[in-house]
Structure formats: structure tokens, C-alpha cells
Chain A
Amino acid sequence: MDLSTVKERAGPRQFGPTDDMPREYREAATRMIQFHANSEIMGAYIERPFVRQAPSLDRKLAVSAQVQDEIGHGQLLYRAAENLGIKTREEMLDELAAGEGKFLNCFHYPLGNWYELPMIMFFVDGAAMRRQATLKRTSWEPYAHAIDKICFEEGFHIKHGEDILRELATGSRRDQELLQRAFEKWWPRILQFFGPTDDQSTHDDFSQEVGLKTMSNDDLRNAFLNAYLPKAEKYGLEPPEYPRVEYHEDRDHYEVYEEDLDWDEFFTVARNELPTGRGQIDKRRRSQDAVAWVREAIETTPASGDTPAAAD
């Protein structure tokens, strides 16, 4: 299929492994899905300490299940990306370990304590949900299929995140203060979650033309703010004065003053050069290296034996 046919036919779940897709399409789709898969893995990575630190048995179970779900999403997405014939799962995992794999800006920052957890589990996951919901209509069918399952499970995570948020927001004065502090710390990162405004994003146009993306970064961020600013308010959280966010009623649009955000830091993050993000990548690589011997041992195992339980 040539590129102009792709653009002509582009629509929800339009293309799959049986279609002969041009290299440009397969590369763009791989980049997008690999980014998503990497983000699931690194998101699981920063949440993991809170399995141990959860303050009740039920919360411990819920956080453990959530971290597991995210690894499962990663597994599913790498498979969907593999179908495009550009990279194998091993190559993508190796790139992640080598610091070459890109992933969401928010997961380059460590989570300091329990008060910060809902910033990820409610706001960032909520933002991710906004984006993912639109990807049910992406043109690469295996991706859309993975998204169905991801959105279903993500719904539980956000509910749990909101429950933690509610518990802290209705707790002691001190709880509320620490929660507000966590919110102020994370808010600019959350605004940057959707990336720079449309005119600055390099891959956006092509992805939209071939139906991989169905909504622009700017529209997604606006939809997120529409839904989540009222929720923040409901839990007594006040966005900091800067970065300025202004609501224009006539257009039902939130204007984010981009100049108030630290884009140097954002692009440092995007290059995998933020020290905290670098630290996460390196820690993950070391723990993966430490079990390389297991992978070697089982690759050469003469005995049969099923692969232990897969995700789905």
C-alpha cells in the first residue's frame, strides 16, 4: 500500500498485520506504541515502592495489582508493536535498558511519598486515560485492541487513585497541606504530559494524517483540564498561580501559558537526560542485568515446560 492510499483509507482500526503497510507508517506506529509500552513499564517502576509502603492490606493488594497490570499492558503493547515488523520485543526492551527508549515525562521523576502517589494514580493516569480513550479509534488495529483492555483496567487504577486522594483530602490538616504540596510539585509536569502545543510537535501531523492519532495534544490537554480541574477543586486542591491557566468561556477552552512552563527541562526529560529519570533507567537496567542469567538458562533448557502464566 502506498502512503497516499494509507492516508485516503485511514480510519479507526483500519489496518492490521495482513495489510502491506509502507515503512513510514510502520515506523510511526512503532514509535508511538513503543513509547506507550515503555511508559507502562517505567510507570510500574516508580509505583512499585508503594506496594511495600501501602498503609493497609487492601491498598497493598490494589497497588500490587496495578503494578502488575502495567507490566501486562507493556507486554501487550510490545506485542502490538512487534507486529509492525520494525523491532522485536527484545530490541525494544534493550533500548529501554540502554536509555534509548522514550517514555512519558512524568515517569522521569521519583515519587517522594504516599501523598504524591495519587498525583500519578489519579491525575497522570487520568490524563493517560484521556489520550488512550481516543486511541480506541487508532488506525492500527492491534494497538486499538490492546487499548480496549488497557482502558478497562486503567479505570480501576484511577478509581483507587481517587480513593487515596479522597482519604488524604478528608484527613487531618497536615494531610491536606502535604497533599497540596504534592499537587503543586506535580502540576506543571502534569500540564506538560500532553507535550508542547501542536505547532512544536514534530511527529503529530503525520500521525494524524494516517489515523494513528485522532486528537491533537492541545485538544487532549483541554479535555483533561475540563474534566480534572473541577475534580482537583472538589478535593480542596488549588493549582499554583504559575503556570497560569486561563479559562475562556466563549470557546470552552483552557489557555495554558506555555511560557510559564520549563520546556528546557521537558526536552532534557525527552532526551532521557534528567538525572532522576536517568537514575530510574539505570536502576531498572541493573535489576534486568541481574536476572540475565535466568533468561540464558531457560533459553537453552532442553526440557519442555510451559511459560508461566501470561497476562491475558
Chain B
Amino acid sequence: MATEDTDTGPWSDRGFALGGPDELSEREQAAVEACLRALADDEFVLAERYTEWQVRGPTLEGDLAVANIAQDELGHARLWYDLLEDFGHTEPELIWERPPEDFRHATLVERPFARGDWADAVVRGFLYDEFERLRLDALADTEYPRIADRVGKVQGEEHYHREHARNWLERLAEGRGDPDNGHRRVQEAIDRLFPHALTLFVPTAYEPDIVEFGVRPAPLSELRQAWLDEVVPVLEDFGFRLPVAADAHPEAVDTLLPTARGRDGEHTDAWADLHDEFTFTYRQLDRSEAPRLMVDPDDADEGGDHP
């Protein structure tokens, strides 16, 4: 297969249909904001849940790895929230003072972990990271230059996450501990999480504009099909059962969706508790600003900032 180098560097030779944050029409801006909110909220809430494994990982090495991933996701959330700040929003408005029903993440990332359920973390990571890869690939073709600037950095780190998830999936799937403990627990996690993973692809009212303006040129329905084509065979090859075939009719897939779908602001009960916990100190301090420690992403060199 012939491969061609598509990495054209700082996008300089590429024209964009959309302008900078100050040059968008009202409708364009709404579409960009909706796209960014789903992105930022997914990463933020996923990271928030991952950090629960810090100091509770199955091994010291597993602990360190999940902490790495959580911090990567938080860093990505920060990049995307920062683009929302282009439109005049502040971090408190975007996170700390935002009512829980205004968050737009998928329900997959907010689900609580049962104590010791490492299989949940592994399956969740796998389902999410495969989605994330597809979403980022789609965003690499964005017509909004500010997003285009940042996709590459995020893509680089997500690669490691996918490897980590697949590696663990394999180890648990093939492990032969006390009677097939790993395999059984992974299956249970799939049964429980798969419907929530489908909420990643639930379109919002802005979806037609997001696609039409090229904020994310590929529609979510297309991403979902690509995702099913990817994750279903992988899991089936490990001997797991899935509630749908990869080539199931979209309407059949839709019937699996949970009642709360996240993207429309309707969340599962666990979300209110989580929101309450992570805003606790902010409220206790009675502040109206969130201290910044690190340089603005626009001024930062690639990588390198140790907090």
C-alpha cells in the first residue's frame, strides 16, 4: 500500500473556510462552541474519573500509567477550554460555576467505577480511545484554524492511550486467574458500558451546522459506523459478546441507547454527585477566578510543562 506523507506541518499551505474567533458569524460561532464543548467536557470528565485510580491501581506501574493518562486528558481539556475562552468565556464559567446540566459530555465518561473494577477502566478506555482517534482524525480536516492548530498535539498522546488500553484488554482477556476472572469482568464491563459508549455519537442540535461549516467535516453517524467496524471485531476476536454486529442497521444500534445521553444535558445520577465533589473547594473558597499556573497554550512550546 502506498503511503503518502499527509503531515504538512503548520498548516501554512492550507486555506480555511472559517476565520479566527473574531471573524465568525453567530451561527458559525455556535457550531464551533458546540463542537468544542463536547470535546472539552468529554476529556475533562473522563480524566476526573481516571484520577480515582490514583493510589488504587492494581500495581504501582498501573497506577502510574493511569495517572499519566488522566493528566494527558486534563491537558487536552485545557487546550479545548482555552479555545472556548477565545469567545470571552472564563474558566470558572466553563467549569467551576457551570451548572451540571450544562455539561455536554457523553454519559460513558461520567459513570462511576465500582471498587476494584479495573476491567471497567480498561474497557472504558478502549471504547473511548477508539472513538477519540476517529474524532481527532475528522478534526484534522477542520475548517476552523484554531482547532487545526491543536489536533496534532492531542493525536500524539492519544496513540499511547490506545496502546495502553489494548495491552490491558489483551492481558485481562487472556489471563487465567481465579476462574477466568479477567474475562468475565471485561464481559460485564462491555455489557454495562457499550450503550453509554454509543452516547459519544449522539448529535446535538448543532450537528448539521458543525458538518456544513466544516468544523468537523465528517458527521457523527459516519464516525459511529467506523467505530463499530473497529471495536466490534477486536472485542469479538478476544471472545467477548457484543449487543450488536458491526454491520447492524443504524436504527437497531439506536435502540441500545440509554435514556440519558449526556450531549443534550441529560445525565445519569452519578454526574450530579461528581460535579458536587469537584466543585467543592471552589465553592468553599468563594472565589470567582481559577488560578492559572502554566503558560497559555498559545505561548507554550510543544510538550514540556511540568506543573
Seen from chain A, the residues whose Cβ lies within 8 Å of a Cβ on chain B are: 41, 44-45, 48, 50-62, 64-65, 67-68, 71-72, 74-75, 78, 113-114, 156, 160, 163, 167, 171-172, 174-175, 284, 286-291, 293-303, 305-311
Of B16-24, B129-137, B165-173, the segment with at least 4 beta carbons within 8 Å of chain A is B165-173
B290 touching A56, Cβ below 8 Å: yes
Please indicate the chain B residues that have their CB under 8 angstroms from the CB of A288 in the complex.
56
On whether A308 and B62 interact (CB within 8 A), knowing A156-B307, A291-B56, A293-B182, the answer reads yes
Interface membership of B200, Cβ < 8 A: no
Please indicate the chain B residues that have their CB under 8 angstroms from the CB of A65 in the complex.
67, 71, 306-307
A54 touching B281, Cβ below 8 Å: yes
Q: Output the nearest chain B residue to A72 by Cβ-Cβ distance.
A: B64
Please indicate the chain B residues that have their CB under 8 angstroms from the CB of A41 in the complex.
55
A–B complex contacts, Cβ < 8 Å, 12 sampled: A55-B96, A57-B290, A62-B293, A67-B67, A68-B54, A74-B60, A287-B116, A293-B182, A300-B175, A303-B171, A309-B61, A311-B61
Which residue in A53, A71, A175 is a CB contact (below 8 Å) of B278? A53
B58 touching A48, Cβ below 8 Å: no
Bound: A286/B116 CA distance, A: 9
Bound: A54/B277 CA distance, A: 10
On whether A297 and B116 interact (CB within 8 A), knowing A61-B307, A75-B64, the answer reads no
Which residue in B55, B60, B293 is a CB contact (below 8 Å) of A75? B60
Tell me, rounded to whole Å, the shortest Cβ–Cβ distance linking A267 to chain B.
Answer: 27
A298 touching B294, Cβ below 8 Å: no
Give residues of chain B (65-86) contacting chain A, Cβ–Cβ below 8 Å. 65, 67-68, 70-71, 74-75, 77-78, 81
Interface of B is mostly: helix
Please indicate the chain B residues that have their CB under 8 angstroms from the CB of A299 in the complex.
177
A61 touching B167, Cβ below 8 Å: no
Interface membership of B292, Cβ < 8 A: yes
On whether A75 and B292 interact (CB within 8 A), knowing A52-B48, A65-B71, A305-B167, the answer reads no
Interface membership of B192, Cβ < 8 A: no
Please indicate the chain A residues that have their CB under 8 angstroms from the CB of B71 in the complex.
61, 64-65, 68
Tell me, rounded to whole Å, the shortest Cβ–Cβ distance linking A111 to chain B.
Answer: 12
Tell me, rounded to whole Å, the shortest Cβ–Cβ distance linking B143 to chain A.
Answer: 28
Tell me, rounded to whole Å, the shortest Cβ–Cβ distance linking B49 to chain A.
Answer: 10
Bound: A299/B176 CA distance, A: 9
A309 touching B68, Cβ below 8 Å: yes
On whether A52 and B278 interact (CB within 8 A), knowing A68-B71, A293-B177, A293-B178, the answer reads yes
Tell me, rounded to whole Å, the shortest Cβ–Cβ distance linking A154 to chain B.
Answer: 13
Please indicate the chain A residues that have their CB under 8 angstroms from the CB of B57 in the complex.
291
Interface membership of B59, Cβ < 8 A: yes
Interface of A is mostly: helix
Which residue in B70, B96, B116 is a CB contact (below 8 Å) of A293? B116
Bound: A167/B287 CA distance, A: 11
Bound: A64/B293 CA distance, A: 14
Q: Output the nearest chain A residue to B51 by Cβ-Cβ distance.
A: A51
A67 touching B64, Cβ below 8 Å: no
Mark interface residues in B151-167 (1 if CB within 8 Å of A CB, else 0): 00000000010001001
A297 touching B91, Cβ below 8 Å: no
Q: Supply 19 further A-B pairs (C-beta < 8 A) apart from A58-B78, A65-B67, A287-B56.
A: A57-B44, A78-B60, A114-B285, A171-B285, A172-B286, A287-B55, A287-B116, A291-B118, A293-B185, A296-B175, A296-B181, A298-B58, A298-B172, A298-B182, A300-B175, A301-B175, A302-B176, A306-B167, A308-B167
On whether A53 and B277 interact (CB within 8 A), knowing A301-B171, A302-B174, the answer reads yes
Interface membership of B14, Cβ < 8 A: no
Bound: A294/B122 CA distance, A: 11
On whether A51 and B64 interact (CB within 8 A), knowing A290-B116, A297-B182, the answer reads no
Bound: A68/B55 CA distance, A: 8
Please indicate the chain A residues that have their CB under 8 angstroms from the CB of B164 in the complex.
308-309
Bound: A307/B278 CA distance, A: 31
Interface membership of B139, Cβ < 8 A: no
Give residues of chain B (186-206) contacting chain A, Cβ–Cβ below 8 Å. none
Bound: A56/B284 CA distance, A: 13
Q: Output the nearest chain B residue to A56 by Cβ-Cβ distance.
A: B290
Interface membership of B147, Cβ < 8 A: no
On whether A175 and B175 interact (CB within 8 A), knowing A64-B70, A291-B116, the answer reads no
On whether A53 and B281 interact (CB within 8 A), knowing A67-B54, A68-B68, A291-B116, the answer reads yes
Which residue in B56, B181, B307 is a CB contact (below 8 Å) of A297? B181
Tell me, rounded to whole Å, the shortest Cβ–Cβ distance linking B112 to chain A.
Answer: 12
Bound: A54/B74 CA distance, A: 13
Interface membership of B249, Cβ < 8 A: no
A305 touching B285, Cβ below 8 Å: no
Which residue in A175, A286, A308 is a CB contact (below 8 Å) of B61? A308
